[in-house]
Amino acid sequence: MLKRLSIIALLCVTCLCAYAEIVVLRTGARVQGTIVFQNEEVVIIRNAEGARFQYPKSDVQEILTDDAAITEAPKQETAVDPEIKTTKKASILLEVGVGAAVIPNNAVGVGYNVDLLFGSHHIGDKHIFVGGGLGYHGMVLGEMYNFLPIQAAIRMPFIEAKHSPVFGLGLGYGIALSKQYVGGLYAGLDFGYRYQLNPKTALSLIAFAQFQQARMTVTETVEGETQTDAFTNESGRSLVNAGIKFALYF
């Protein structure tokens, strides 16, 4: 009989110790369970039902591990949505798009672009991307026009949720990839939809408009009564590219 009581007591102590940890959040919420992983960025705790909760370390006020903490009445389990709370600041943004390209009053064709941007995906506790990088933009307008834009960019959701409209701006300089023309000011405008897959990854479908300034050599032929003259000069042009692009934050 004494042996059975000893076993039961040992099991009770084991159960109490297994769930003697309480994660106290800065919101005042408490989660009781067993911490299964933690580092400088994140804490993961499993409750008595086996459910796991993940919190950024910056949101954790303290971790109670003494046995007396078990007797305290827990408050609401969590006020933080672990699915949309970010756990890192550095991010990469990859955008791929296609659309119609236009030289106003001159030519219409097809445009395509790829941009790779580096920056922060976490500004002021919001999923706002701020950064910069390089791209490759091509336009088929009778002949090929290719640019390498160097730009600073911002992508900002209207609400902090899994599903959100998103607005973006880009500004920089497009380097011409041909000796036949010279690059110039580049600007981009975005508006679309973003879906936050997890704290580190998001997808976007965006309608965009891009403006690229360029200077190119233009040859004009003038026919007279006795001869035909050709004049060559440099002309400034605005190349416009508008369409749909896909974006991945990771």
Rounded Cα distance between 202 and 166, Å, is 12
User: Token pair of 242, please?
Assistant: 């508008």
Distance in angstroms (rounded) separating the CA atoms of residues 28 and 87: 20
> pLDDT value at position 227?
54
Residues 107 and 184 in one domain: yes
The whole-number average pLDDT for the span 141-166 is 90
The reported pLDDT for the residue numbered 43 is 87
Cα 120–chain centre separation? 8
Q: Among residues 20, 44, 71, which one ends one of the domains? A: 71
Rounded to an integer, the average pLDDT of 144-170 is 92
Same domain? 100 vs 221: yes
Instruction: Quote the domain boundaries for residue 56.
Output: 2-71
Residues 107 and 169 in one domain: yes
219 & 127 share domain: yes
The whole-number pLDDT of residue 40 equals 82
pLDDT tens for residues 3-42?
A: 554 544 444 444 444 446 888 888 888 888 888 888 888 8
Per-residue pLDDT band for 190 (boundaries 50, 70, 90) equals very high
Name the more confident of 154 and 226: 154
CATH number of the CATH domain containing 36: 2.30.30.100
Residue 76 lies in a domain: no
pLDDT of residue 218: 58
Same-domain pairing of 219 and 130 = yes
Question: Which residue did the predictor score with more confidence, 133 or 28?
Answer: 133
Residue 55 in domain: yes
Contact at 8 Å (CB) between 213 and 174?
Answer: yes
Q: Is residue 217 part of a domain?
A: yes
CA triple 191-213-136, angle to 5 deg:
65
pLDDT at res. 122? 73
Tokens at residue 39, please? Answer: 């580092």
125 and 216 together in one domain: yes
Same domain for 101 and 225?
yes
Instruction: Output 241 or 227, whichever has higher pLDDT.
Output: 241
Higher pLDDT, 121 or 9: 121
At 212, which CATH number? 2.40.160.20
Task: Give the lowest-confidence range in 144-148, 166-170, 227-231.
Answer: 227-231
pLDDT at position 20 is 64
Q: What are the pLDDT digits (tens) for 84-109?
A: 444 457 889 999 999 999 988 888 89
Is residue 78 a part of any domain in this protein? no
**pLDDT computed for residue 197 by the predictor:** 86
Q: Residue 243 has what pLDDT?
A: 96
- Predicted confidence at residue 71, as pLDDT, reads 46
The number of distinct structural domains making up the chain is: 2
Quick check: is 80 in a domain? Answer: no
Distance CA 202, CA 157 (A): 11
The rounded mean pLDDT for the chain is: 79
Q: Classify the C-alpha dihedral 204-206-209-215 as positive or negative.
A: positive
